[in-house]
Structure 1
Amino acid sequence: MTASLIADLASGALHDHIAEIAEDAARVILPYWRAGGEVFTKADASPVTLADQQAEALILSRLSALYPDVQAVAEEQSEAEGRPASAEAVFWLIDPLDGTKGFVAGKESFTVNIALIQDHRPVAGVVTAPATATTWRTAVGGGAEMRRFGEPWRAIKVRNRPDEGIALLSHSVTDEEATRLAARHGCTRWQGTDSSLKFCLIAEGRFDAYPRTGPTSEWDTAAGQAVLEAAGGRVLAADGSPLAYGKPGFANGGFVAMGG
């Protein structure tokens, strides 16, 4: 880890930097939203737009200027050039536009994600929702916080599990599967939501669990996990251990994100 990154992580300046970068990336993305731009198809058949590519270019440029010796693993670069063979002890995980399908459809739940990984754990992260001009981040001095663009930060934390918890599920699962997954994790109701926004809504104390059985990439989860854990929650892999990073192929198996 470079001296400047160590100093900025300790002082809290790093949290400010990545929040500013994520919000600037959101401003790059917004002109493309609901504008009917061209959609391309990646090798894995998932969509990508100019918004994804330009937001990622901004993020990589800004992080490189601040911390030139820190490895960055970013979605669009990795999908275009191949995923790195391995991760360094400290590296960035970046998803410039999580929820591209919803973005293309004109929905609001797409996000910008930047996370710092140290020794396989997310130690700092920011998630920004461009459509609602809202950002969640790990906080200076510990904890988690959120703000609307330009407003003061306010602290957030998970809630204690109510008698009738509410789960958040991906829209990719069937209603039957969603009901079963919610019940498995003590929730009597569920709601479908796209992108890493699910982690942040649990961190705010509005929902209680997000179980995921299908595959995801590490850049889909790292920033949200950082925020949720800072707010008092947990993200556990199938074996019950905290979801870790720098795995082969930067691929996740099943996991569950939980509040109190």
Structure 2
Amino acid sequence: MDKVAEILAEASAEAVEPRFRALAAGEVMEKAPGEVVTVADREAEAIIARRLRELLPVPVVGEEAVAADPALARALHDEPAAWLVDPVDGTANFVAGRPDYAVMCSLVRSGRTVASWIWQPATATAYRAELGAGSWRDGTRLTRPPAPHDAAKLRGSVKSRFLEPDRQERLRANAAAFGEVSPGRHAAGIEYPDVVEGRCDFILYWRTLPWDHAPGSLLVTEAGGVSSRLDGNPYRPEAPGGEDGLLVAADPETWELTRAVLLRD
């Protein structure tokens, strides 16, 4: 567990942090409409992938590698084990000079996330989780504080960008019942720790790319929270194009309450 944390921090120090607010012309590219990638993403992923293979020689499913060859994501269900890597989570924030970005990694065995790591360079904070062994911030074990039982006191985020307009409108109307609803911080590696630390009580995601959600989902569940599909099935990392919709919450009661409020007619 410690070695992977070192790999992420060292790759970040070498390829990512020196370029924060210092990206040169030509170092930011568009890989898909509305989605950017930088040389920092690509260089960090190459460093992390090489070193992870040295640690455990299984396939590495990296965000940027999959962008170039989508078939690589099949390893998540075709192979007994695979690494998942997001070299710069929150790339848009990184490009804009906002500190809400992270470097993340997970280990998937038999389709289930068994370990995860999140490195937040701006605050030099390391989160990690291991299936059955808990969630940790640096050397401190994390337990999610209790959330309010009243929807009007809950704080959360609803990510509806990838939904059709009528469903977006329905969610916005229903979300008015909560105490505070924000657009989020546009980086899963920041938002999931916010749930665990008690700064946020729930998040509804729609598109769920595996490198974005595997690390944080394990962090939340090992701290006593819930990360489940809207039908109640626990989150499992899937190749892009799989099931949509994921509700993350502080605890089972908050998950049920939030789902009931957001999906009511």
Query: 1:110 aligned to 2:101?
Result: yes
Structure 1 residue 139: Cα displacement: 5.5
Match of residue 46 from structure 1: 35
Hey, what does 2:13 align to over in structure 1?
A: 27
TM-score of the two chains, using structure 2 as the length reference: 0.80
Q: One-letter code of the match for 1:91?
A: A
Aligned counterparts of 1:169 and 1:108: Cα–Cα separation in 2: 21
RMSD: 2.5
Q: 1:160 aligns with which of 124, 146, 158?
A: 146
8 Å CA contact 1:102–1:194 kept in 2: the answer is yes
How does the TM-score come out when normalised to structure 1? 0.82
Contact kept? 1:200, 1:228, Cα under 8 Å: yes
1:172-183 to structure 2, matched below 5 A, reads 172=161, 179-180=172-173, 182=175
Tell me if structure 2 keeps the 8 A contact 1:83–1:250. Answer: no
Secondary structure of the structure 2 residue equivalent to 1:155? strand
The number of aligned residues is 236
Local SS of the residue matching 1:84: helix
Specify the code of the residue in structure 2 equivalent to 1:84.
L
1:33 and 1:176 map into 2 onto residues whose CA distance is 36
The answer on whether the counterparts of 1:95 and 1:220 sit within 8 Å (CA) in structure 2 is yes
Q: Shift of residue 131 of structure 1?
A: 1.6
Query: Quick one: structure 1 residues 165 and 57, their matched pair in 2 at CA, closer, same or farther if it must change by over 3 Å?
Result: same
Q: CA deviation at 1:156?
A: 1.4
**Secondary structure at the residue paired with 1:95?**
strand
> What is the 5 A alignment of 1:194-233?
194-196=186-188, 197-213=190-206, 215-233=207-225
- Is the contact between residue 147 and residue 250 of structure 2 (CA under 8 Å) also seen in structure 1? yes
* Cα shift at 1:80: 1.4
Counterpart contact for 2:106–2:115, Cα < 8 Å: yes
Q: Displacement of 1:180 after TM fit?
A: 4.2
Q: Unaligned 5+ residue runs, structure 2?
A: 252-265
Identity across the alignment (%)? 33
Taking the aligned partners of 1:188 and 1:118, their CA distance within structure 2 comes to 39
Change in CA separation of 1:126 and 1:107 when aligned onto 2, cut-off 3 Å? same
- The answer (yes or no) to whether the contact 1:83–1:249 under 8 Å persists in 2 is no
Contact 2:115 2:215 in 1 (8 A): yes
Matches for 1:77-116 after TM superposition, within 5 Å: 77-84=65-72, 86-87=74-75, 88-116=79-107
Contact kept? 1:171, 1:194, Cα under 8 Å:
no
What displacement does 1:169 show?
A: 4.1
Q: CA deviation at 1:83?
A: 3.3
Q: Read off the aligned partner of 1:66 and give its amino acid letter.
A: L
161-170 vs 229-238, greater mean Cα deviation:
161-170
Q: 1:236 aligns with which of 217, 228, 232?
A: 228
Per-residue deviation, 1:216: 3.0
